[in-house]
Structure 1
Amino acid sequence: MRIAVAYDCLFPFSKGGGERQYRVFAEEFAAAGHQVTYLTRKQWDSAAPQVDGLDIEVISTERELYDAQGNRKLGPAVKFATGLFAHLARNRGRYDAVLVSATPATNVPAARAALLGTRTVLAVDWLEVWRPEQWLEYSGPVAGRVANVIQWLAVKSSSLASCHSQLNARRLVELRLRSAPIVSPGLIDGQGGGEPSLTAGEPPTVVYVGRHIPDKRVEALPAAIAHARKSIPDLKCTIFGEGQTSAAIQAEIARLGLQEVIATPGFVDQAVLDEGMRSAAVLVNPSQREGYGLVVVESCALGTPVVLVNGEDNASVELVEDGVNGKVAASVRPEVLGEAIVEVVSAGAPLRKTTAEWFDEARRTKTVRAAAAQILGRIEQAVAKA
């Protein structure tokens, strides 16, 4: 088959779970013998990169996706959707199937409109499905309502849809998706960053890995660390990454006098990051919104248990089994999150052993390649019927 994969980011020029996911999807489709074109946004200064098995085509040149608060801007989303519509309209009949990311949702009605009247199968992959209240909080009263309507239109345009958590599957059904969604078995790459460590380094260290944006609530970590140190006085913390809330995080560290306790090295090489996670006593992610939570898997691959925070928009909690590979805290209040940290750090080697065992089982059945194969199978069936 001739398949297009459409997403406005390409790994490693943009880093994140979605970026890695769609690149692997495209590579797996190509490995299965199909001709694959990756439609994306220009994120490099020279010629388009060469990727084995893939044709990379630029359909948008917008460089900045996010505003100062770390939110996706409407302009780049509209420009990418416009570029996607134009490309597919010019190339009607070129593709047997198009897999389009619903992040942002503007991609979906654009692709559907361009493909009307063709036999091309449109598959839509949902990284996240948002509640109306989320859109209002994220984009404001006007743009939020518009975005919510666009998401509704995108769901109605998704005759073949996939997602990666039960949370998002339920939301697609509630929005009256036209067919049962494909719920992927997982997004684990099956490799990890090396062998897991069954003992944590000394002194015990908490790590955070990811962008610093409001939804991640990283600024809640310093107070939780201060509380946990009442029980574990030598506890340290390393907060990897950068972003819009970095200044607020530094201010909170200073307010609590934790400059010698909490390190903030920013973004680092993958090898440094892997070693930081492997030697840590626990990885903590206080995020209120996750579509999947790849960092949870990456931590467990290294034997390091996790602490997450429960929330109605946090699908990553589906990856945690309390007492097996970590704990889910009820809130980010310092005493609640701090006590969860104490519990996991104090569990020591036995919890690290079950964490490594959890990952060892998961990487055999819940891989990103298994998800790609599942989606490809449904696409092949749909194309055969078209």
Structure 2
Amino acid sequence: MAEPRVAIAYDCFFPINSGGGERVYRRIAELLTERGSPVDYVTRSQWDGPAPEARFSVVPVWHGAIYNSEGTRTPVSAVKFALALFRHFRAQRANYDVVIVSALPVLNVFAVQLALAGSKTFVVSDWLEVWGWRQWRAYSGALMGTVASLLQFVAIRLGNLHTVNSHFTGSRIRGYRRGAAPVTLGLIDLVGAAPDVTTKRGEEPYLIFVGRHIADKQLIDLLPALREARTHIHNLRLVIVGSGPETVAVAARSTELGLDDVVTLAGRVSDDELHTLLAGARALVNPSRREGFGLVVAEAAAVATPSVVVAGPDNAAAELVHNGVNGFVASSVRPRDLAEAMVKVVTAGEPLRRSTQAWFEQERTAGGLSRSIDQILQAYRSARTS
């Protein structure tokens, strides 16, 4: 059987956007291309002139912003991109064997399914996250949150196959759709092995945060925990990488707590700078309440840097961290709880960094994204021959 013609539908594109989802979709496109599949990456235009270079076709179908000033996706942009997807796939409905569509936002799934209704195209919906009703209401307000929750409920019942980034998201899919058998994507191998990895660190200890400065990351809660941790490790510092709507509030809170001399707001940095900062840190601290996977934990582990994350029902990053192996899971973001995990990870020292490095190497080789693509293609071929 010939390799299938594939489309991937998502409104962000790496490296213009640097989140985990767009990195996953780009890598899937590359791996499918390497196997001989023609691939179209159907997305929104964020550039002037020609599309970015890639080993596959980049097909922009809409141009516009998707976030408001607070870093929240806007309903209007979701509707406009979904309409653009519908028009594209309606016009190209005979040209694809497999379509992988991101369910973020969920309207994408409806657009693709409606456009391809009656065709033989095998539709894979990828769920970066599955939220509960209360979480949708908190994120989008009472009315829009309720609507989004209902749309998610229906969308999970569509498509031929689901893919997810974590086991707990897979269990939520099965909770909504009995008999579903989602494929959990192996994502650790998105992070390449670092050739110069070392478990040695400098004398002055520092922690690092990497990510967008939005409410779900709970970055502000990291600052009082740092102050608490410094009562045990007096010279402990924090480097904050990234930016976002909460950057100003984070800076103000740092000043309020008297931490300006020990907190560095580095902003956005180059890949080389990020590598150096991660490789020199005693730990990555990611207090986020919500992560679809937590790729930054793997990026830190690639340079033997353990992580501190926070337990929570919507935090898949907590699945990646094993206490005393590659970091510690704090029970909450309360200063004492988070500080305790931070102190543990720093005082564990080089033995923890060695076990973190070993964990990364084992996970990277045990189950990668290539194996996940094998599962997707096997499901597609089974459907074609049944």
TM-score, length of structure 2 as denominator length: 0.96
1:1-386 matches, within 5 Å, as: 1-52=4-55, 54-62=56-64, 64-176=65-177, 179-385=180-386
SS in 1 for 2:172: helix
- Hey, what's the Cα distance between the residues in 1 that align with 2:191 and 2:261? 36
- What do the CA deviations read for 1:107-137 (whole angstroms, capped 9, x no partner)? 0011111111111111111111111111000
Distance (Å, rounded) in 2 between the aligned partners of 1:281 and 1:169:
32
Question: Retained in 1: the 8 A contact 2:189–2:365?
Answer: no
Alpha-carbon distance, 1:177 to partner: 5.2
Give the superposition deviation at 1:245: 0.7
Query: Partners of 2:178 and 2:13 in 1: how far apart?
Result: 28
Distance 1:154 1:224 in 2: 40
Distance of 1:370 and 1:317 partners within structure 2? 23
Partner amino acid, structure 2, of 1:9: C
The superposition leaves residues 163-184 of structure 1 with CA deviations (integer Å, 9 ceiling, x where unpaired) of 1211101111111155311122
Query: In structure 2, the residue corresponding to 1:287 is in which secondary structure?
Result: coil
Paired with 1:369 and 1:316, the residues of 2 have a C-alpha distance of 21
The aligned amino acid for 2:285 is V
CA contact (8 A) 1:201 1:281 kept: no
Alpha-carbon distance, 1:193 to partner: 4.3
Structure 2 stretches lacking a partner, 5+ long: none
The alpha carbon displacement at 1:366 in A equals 2.9
Aligned letter for 1:16?
A: G
Partner of 1:85, secondary structure, is helix
Q: Is contact 2:230-2:236 (8 Å) kept? A: yes
Alignment partners' CA distance in 2, 1:272 and 1:50: 24
Counterpart CA distance in 2 for 1:78 and 1:384 is 35
| Cα distance in 2 for residues equivalent to 1:84 and 1:347 | 50
2:5, 2:39 within 8 Å by CA — same for their partners in 1? yes
Look up the SS of the partner of 1:21 in the other structure: helix
Q: Distance in 2 between matches of 1:132 and 1:218?
A: 24
Contact 1:301 1:356 in 2 (8 A): yes
Q: Secondary structure at the match of 2:96?
A: coil
Q: Mean alpha-carbon deviation: is it higher for 196-205 or for 245-254?
A: 196-205
8 Å CA contact retained: 1:3, 1:99 = yes
Q: State, as a whole percentage, how many aligned pairs show the same letter.
A: 41
Question: With CA pairs under 8 Å and 6+ residues apart, which has the higher RCO, 1 or 2?
Answer: 1
**Cα distance between partner residues in 2 of 1:202 and 1:72:** 42
The alignment partner of 1:185 has SS state of coil
Classify the secondary structure of the residue corresponding to 2:189.
Answer: coil
Distance in structure 1 (CA, Å) of the matches to 2:204 and 2:37? 51
Q: TM-score, length-normalised on structure 1?
A: 0.96
Contact 2:191 2:298 in 1 (8 A): no
Do the aligned partners of 1:197 and 1:304 also contact (CA within 8 Å) in 2?
no
Residues in 2 aligned to 1:194 and 1:233: alpha-carbon distance in whole angstroms: 33
| C-alpha contact (below 8 Å) 1:192/1:298 kept by paired residues | no
The 3-state SS of whatever aligns with 1:156 is coil
Cα deviation, residue 384, structure 1 = 4.0
**Compared CA separation, residues 356 and 379, structure 1 to 2 (3 A):** same
Once the two structures are superposed, residues 333-385 of structure 1 have per-residue CA deviations (whole angstroms, 9 ceiling, x without a partner) of: 11110111001100000000000000011110232333333323323333444
Report which stretch shifted further, 261-270 or 159-168: 159-168
CA RMSD of aligned residues (A): 1.3
Count of residue pairs brought into register by the alignment? 383
CA–CA separation in structure 2 for the residues paired with 1:379 and 1:27: 19
SS in 2 for 1:60: strand
5+ residue gaps in structure 1? none
Whether the 8 Å contact between 1:100 and 1:123 is mirrored in structure 2 is yes
